[in-house]
Amino acid sequence: MTTLIESEDHKSLRAAVSAFAQAHPHTLNAEDNQRLWQDAAKLGYIGVNLPEAYGGGGAGITELALVLEELGAAGNPLLMMIVSPAICGTVISRFGTEEQKREWLPSLADGTRLMAFGITEPDAGSNSHRITTTARRDAATGEWVLTGRKVFVSGVDIADATLIVGRTEDARTGKLKPCLFIVPRDAPGFERRAIDMELNAVERQFELTLDDVRLPAEALVGDEDAGLLQLFAGLNPERVMTAAFGIGMGRYALSRALDYARERTVWKTPIGAHQAIAHPLAQAHIDLELARLMMQKAAHLYDAGDDVGAGEAANMAKYAAGEACVKAVDQAVHTLGGNGLTREYGLARLITASRVARIAPVSREMILNYVSHQTLGLPKSY
């Protein structure tokens, strides 16, 4: 796939990542996956968006999304790229203290450390205004004390810390406002339980309990009074990166189906000559291209500093990519007939994996709600 809005530098980066990714066979083994992460980090791919002054590549979400898309297109979507460099790296770069930047950014960039991100709660779900994980300050020690529960948080076991979205009480209004805290993996009171997902992926999801987790004052990232703004700074890159995850996976599935359709012959010609097979694959390709254009637009707006414009564009790109991914995987599986469901061909497991792009980090319906209300000015039902 080529696009008009890609610079020569982007094209070379895409070619280099693609060659690197193709040389690393698809893996569901945790150790191989970790090696892939570290090799990609050594080449500067994982921290490509992080500031140069802290060991990163000094580029943007545009480049980071390109990296994830190409890894995914080779069958190795590194899910934690959505979280560690894109959300956590962005939030710390933009709002962290000098000390937090020095402590975290070089190791997130060189792949020696990872950070997970926890916002979803069992009783809040899509309604993140309802989150109840609470942070209070211990007046005697100045420490933060966090209490609450999170669910579906990816990679907590392999991450050195989790950026937890909590709330602090506004001294004047009594209202709870969102705040971000770095919680080390082994902090006392920070418990995790792996959720038994039907996903067949290297990264696992966890239910977390925070039971009076005591953190030093420096665990708070950014300004206590600008929580929402800081949160959105990380969520737009998250949506762009989820779009890249979906587009990469869709391309991978499509390429496997095309290989099969060119070869498999049960009548006179390969099955790819039948339009009933060819046209849905062509449609899947077009849908992935459309989604990629939307993703590139969102990434460019974000990198240009337009947080508001990027918000709408990133939501729409995530929607388009999620739908294109689900359809591409569905059609790819169907193209292989019975082999679509064998482990050997490895496409059936993508049926559940592709649904992640539709559900997380914000579901298809919540994006349709956003566009209905924010873009089209329609009234809210909830």
Ligand X SMILES: Cc1cc2nc3c(=O)[nH]c(=O)nc-3n(C[C@H](O)[C@H](O)[C@H](O)COP(=O)(O)OP(=O)(O)OC[C@H]3O[C@@H](n4cnc5c(N)ncnc54)[C@H](O)[C@@H]3O)c2cc1C
Enumerate binding residues for ligand X (CB under 6 A): 83, 117-120, 125-126, 152-154, 205, 356, 359-363, 365-366, 369, 382
Give buried/exposed letters for 32-63 (b at 16+ CB in 10 A, else e).
ebeebbeebbeebbbbbbbbeebbbbebbbbb
Of the pair 93, 369, the CB lying nearest ligand X is at: 369
For residue 50, give the 3-state DSSP assignment.
Answer: coil
Q: Is 331 exposed, middle or buried (0-12, 13-18, 19+ CB in 10 A)?
A: buried
Name the DSSP letter for residue 268: S
Q: Is the dihedral of CA 99, 100, 106, 107 positive or negative?
A: positive
- Residue 235 or residue 284: which is nearer to ligand X going by CB? 235
Kindly state the smallest distance separating residue 126's Cβ from ligand X, in Å.
Answer: 3
Minimum distance of ligand X from residue 119's CB (angstroms):
4
CB of 50 to ligand X, least distance (A): 19
Rounded to a whole number of angstroms, the minimum distance from the CB of residue 244 to ligand X is 15
203 vs 303, beta carbon nearer ligand X: 203
d(CA 109, CA 50): 7
Amino acid residing at 152:
F
CA nearest neighbour of 211 among 236, 187, 244: 187
Which residue, 230 or 369, has its beta carbon nearer to ligand X? 369
Q: Enter the tokens of residue 178.
A: 């969102």
CB closer to ligand X, 120 vs 331 = 120
Distance CA 86, CA 109 (A): 11
Shortest approach of ligand X to residue 309 CB, angstroms? 23
Question: CB of 247 within 8 A of CB of 291?
Answer: yes
Chain residue at closest Cβ approach to ligand X: 125
Identify which of residues 13 and 81 has a Cβ nearer to ligand X in the complex: 81
